[in-house]
Amino acid sequence: GVLYEADGNFLFCTPKMSVEDEVKKHWVALEANPDVLNKFVHRLGVPETASFCDIYGTDPDLLMMIPRPVYAVLLLFPIHEQYEKARLEQQQTIEKDGQTVSPRVYFMKQTIGNACGTIGMIHCVVNSADKFDLQPGFFRNFLDNTQGLDSSARATALVKNDEIEENHKQFASEGQSRAPDADEDVDLHFVAFVERDGHLYELDGRKPFAINHGPSSPDTLLEDTVKVMQRIMALDPEEDRYSMIALTATPLD
């Protein structure tokens, strides 16, 4: 069943993991609510000068309302048959032809059910750590301890990290929507988009590697992510369960 609350709040979720990854545990899904996300990341070391905000639409006028600079973008979208077919075709093409991935891209696999929201936040924050000063806490420690590991070892390190699990549990119960059971199936999924070394990267723990979506820049990260989102939306024009959240510089009051 789909967890989509009538008040418009979405929940982070995990549909099916990639076949090569064993799901080691399940967490309760986290609501896609910027207020909840900001409490979460600020407690764990993101400075108050950076925060998440909703993106209310893809029209240029609406995108212009988003605070700048934009450090990263979270995209929520439904997993369906057309998307899965396109995902596998994309993976096969990259495995056949290769792709360029900057060594500065931090990517980790997902082996915890219903953790895509937290893993998306980690992808956003860690890949933006050179743009703001991380405070002492989980994000700085996790980056220091896993920087030299591969994507699977980073996933294992997350499984073993009690601090992030306890915080996830607390904030999963703070949203406006009903918190689902940990083993409840949800078909909505969150992935992160970041710009590194002049390219746009999609970071999805269900995939075996980061995806290079072509040239981008810090100034065009948001608009370039919207183009990828529109391609995903075109796979099923009848579907409308999409949402975007940006990690940006916190606006001055």
Q: Is the peptide bond before 69 cis (omega within 30 degrees of 0)?
A: yes
- For residue 59, give Cα distances in angstroms to 39, 66, 148, 211: 29, 12, 40, 25
Percentages of the chain per state (helix, strand, coil), in multiples of 5:
35, 20, 45
187 contacts 215 by C-beta, under 8 angstroms = no
Q: Of 13, 53, 124, 189, which is the active-site residue?
A: 189
Active site residue 168: no
Q: Of 53, 116, 123, 199, which is the active-site residue?
A: 116
Q: By CB neighbour count within 10 A (0-12 exposed, 13-18 middle, 19+ buried), where does 8 fall? A: exposed
Active site residue 116: yes
Both tokens assigned to 169: 């549990």
Q: CB under 8 Å to 82, separation ≥6 — which residues?
A: 235, 236
191 contacts 74 by C-beta, under 8 angstroms = yes
Give the E-state strand segments of the chain in sequence order. 25-26, 50-55, 70-78, 112-113, 188-196, 199-203, 211-215, 243-249
Beta bridge partners of 245: 54, 74
Catalytic residues: 116, 189
